[in-house]
Amino acid sequence: MLNNNSKYKTKEELEAELEELRLQLEEANETIEAIRTGQIDALVVQGEKGHQLYTLKGADQTYRVFIEKMTEGAVTLNRKGLILYCNSQFATMVNLPLSKVIGLPFDTFITAENQVQYKDLFEKCWKHDCKGEVLLVAGKGQTPVQLSLTTLELEEGVSLSIILTDLTSQKATQKQLRQNNQQLEEINQALESSNNDLQQFASVASHDLQEPLRKIQIFSNLMKEKQDELSPESSKYLEKIIDSSGRMKVLILDILNYSRLSASKREVECTDLNELINELRDDFELIIQEKNAEIHIGELPCLDVNRGQMRQVFQNIISNALKFSVPGKSPIIRITSKIISDKCFNSKQDKNGLFCLISVQDNGIGFDEKYLNNIFALFERLNGKDKFEGTGIGMAIAKKIVDKHKGLITAASKVGQGAKFKIILPIMQSQP
Amino acid sequence: MASKKVLLAEDDLDDQILFRDFLQHRTDITLMSIVENGVELFETLEEIPSPEELPDNIIHYQNMPKRNGRQTIELLKESNRYAQIPVVVYSTYADQKLIDNCCKIGACTVVSKPISKEGYDKMIDGFLQIIG
């Protein structure tokens, strides 16, 4: 150790002393670093009474490492709010070397506008744990942090522990979320207004288009009564006007029907599909006789559906099956059903399932499956108007109704080999 | 059977002429007059002094200026003098909503405007059956 007895020291002696002190400092620094990083739990110090063993309060190596390594900042304050200890994460947060942080009042690092809030927290926390969000002064910048304040019982008395969680990325996420929500709202508004436009259009179609159309129909019918005054050619043109205006009338009604589906409130009731399809069979009686068609109806369930709308679905499918028949061949339509477990077309049969799969199979002209999506799109027609009449809205209406019932619809077919329409519907409609 | 007195409220000139022409041959109805709108309808009714000479049936076009069919029906049904006269509504487009709305306030029936001579005859046959 040091030789304090000699009054005079040579330059060499002084240099040696300096070297000794430097080594001591280095050793002390190493010890501090070792304590900080949890490499040691106790120190043996040579004192006046010989060697003494010092254990560290709460010398729990795990916790010290934990505090040092964790991504949150951690500080310990005394009653006056001075920083007794901090981890290196906190020093990084406030952009200062560790050594300069110790001993400073913690409120040095709180922005002016958050001082009142911090003082409030600092007062409350001695009674019970509390949390708050403040802006931390970090060099020239500011960092949003959450402070979690807890008191600690130490040997020297009660002190305060504060854990600081950096909220920068959380705030950024919140901001992003707010922006996304706002965007969504704008899109919703745009959608709503375009829906309104559509409704408006439907109402215009219902009156303003139908009035002149009716005039065309009525006056061409009147002219037809005076057919003997017309040349055969004019007579032919007149027939075409009457035909076209009739088609236009059907088209307008179909568009109206389709657009009204989105607006209408859906009222569902338990509906016996056997009854519903038998009714339809009666409606189609004329064409069934004319085409010598057969409709075989298997046992069908009762489902929670809007009766009127579901009637339209089967009306459109059956009418298609009758319409697209192979010339000279009697249409045969088979309607079957089974209860299934899942809402998918290859689901297992399950008598306790929540869904029903209904198939309508015909022996008509069929279609190429590459046009499957076109069938359910508005105004799509796979066949020429000359051979088969129709507006191209029927199956779009069917799909929309099935969609509104939270169901699925698809079709399978090969050209010349009939078509099979498959519908999945939930047995119960849970009301929103 | 006595010929039924019919009052028509119709603002479309073509339809006024069609109505008159198509129903001229019928002896079971007499077209008293044609008014252009709901306001004129009341003026015409007010001018009829004796209740016996009031129309047996009012045929009202729904989509009218000044007062539409529904508004007129409501006013007619509120009046002691006219509440008993059967009113039928005819419209270019008669959907279930219009039918429900008009019948709720006292219309006998709502029909689509015919597009042929036969259609007009059928419509009037139907009206006569309803008003008895």
Domain boundaries, chain A: 11-54, 70-166, 175-263, 267-432
The string of pLDDT tens digits covering residues A275-298 is 999 988 888 888 899 889 999 999
Nearest CA in chain B to A252: B93
Note the pLDDT of residue A191: 86
Give pLDDT, residue A407. 92
Question: Given CB atoms, is A215 within the 8 Å cutoff of chain B?
Answer: yes
Distance CA A412, CA A372 (A): 8
Instruction: Identify the three-state secondary structure at position A116.
Output: helix
Q: Is B47 on the interface with A (CB under 8 A)?
A: no
What pLDDT was estimated at residue A318?
Answer: 92
The CA-CA-CA angle for residues A77, A83, A85, to 5°, reads 90
Stretches in chain A below the pLDDT threshold 70: 1-7, 32, 35-50, 52-62, 155-156, 206, 262-266, 379-391, 431-432
Query: Which chain A residues have a beta carbon less than 8 Å from that of B117?
Result: 221-222, 225
Phi and psi for A207 in degrees, rounded to 5?
A: -105, -60
Task: Name chain A contacts of B12, Cβ cutoff 8 Å.
Answer: 211
Higher pLDDT, B111 or A194: B111
The C-alpha atoms of residue A166 and residue A143 are separated, in whole angstroms, by 7
Contact list in A for residue B113 (CB cut-off 8 A) is 214
CA dist B38 and B42 (Å) reads: 7
Q: Using CB atoms, which residue from B93, B113, B115 is nearest to A221?
A: B115
Q: What is the C-alpha radius of gyration for chain A, rounded to an integer number of angstroms?
A: 43
* In chain B, domain spans: 4-131
Task: Return the pLDDT at A96.
Answer: 87
The predicted structure's pLDDT at residue B15: 92
H/E element, A349: none
CA distance A215 to chain B (A): 8
Q: What is the pLDDT of residue A40?
A: 65
Closest CA to B28 of B128, B126, B116, B109: B128
User: What is the domain class of B4-131 according to CATH?
Assistant: alpha beta
User: Inter-chain contact A221–B95, Cβ cutoff 8 Å?
Assistant: no
Gap between the Cα atoms of A141 and A135, Å rounded: 10
Distances (CA, A) of A121 to A90, A115, A162: 19, 10, 11
What are the CA-CA distances from residue A93 to residues A115, A133, A137, B4 (Å)? 18, 15, 9, 97
Regarding pTM above 0.80, the answer is: no
Q: Identify the CA nearest to B29 among candidates B54, B52, B7.
A: B7
A16-46: per-residue pLDDT in tens?
Answer: 888 888 887 777 777 767 766 666 666 666 6
CA distance B31 to chain A (A): 21
Residue type, A397: I
The strand pair at A83-86 and B4-9 is best described as unpaired
Q: Alpha helices, DSSP H only, in A1-75?
A: 11-36, 61-69
Tens of pLDDT, residue by residue over B7-43, are 999 988 999 999 999 888 999 999 999 998 888 999 9
CATH top-level class of A175-263: mainly alpha
pLDDT of residue B17: 93
A225 min Cα distance to partner chain B (Å): 10
CA angle A105, A111, A116 (to 5 degrees): 80
The CATH fold assigned to A70-166 is Beta-Lactamase (3.30.450)
Distance (Å, rounded) from C-alpha A45 to C-alpha A47?
A: 6
The pLDDT value given to residue B45: 92
Domain topology for A267-432: Heat Shock Protein 90 (3.30.565)
Alpha-carbon distance A208 to nearest alpha carbon in chain B (angstroms): 9
Dihedral through CA B106, CA A258, CA A312, CA A285, nearest 10? 90
Rounded-to-integer distance, Cα B12 and Cα A428, Å: 50
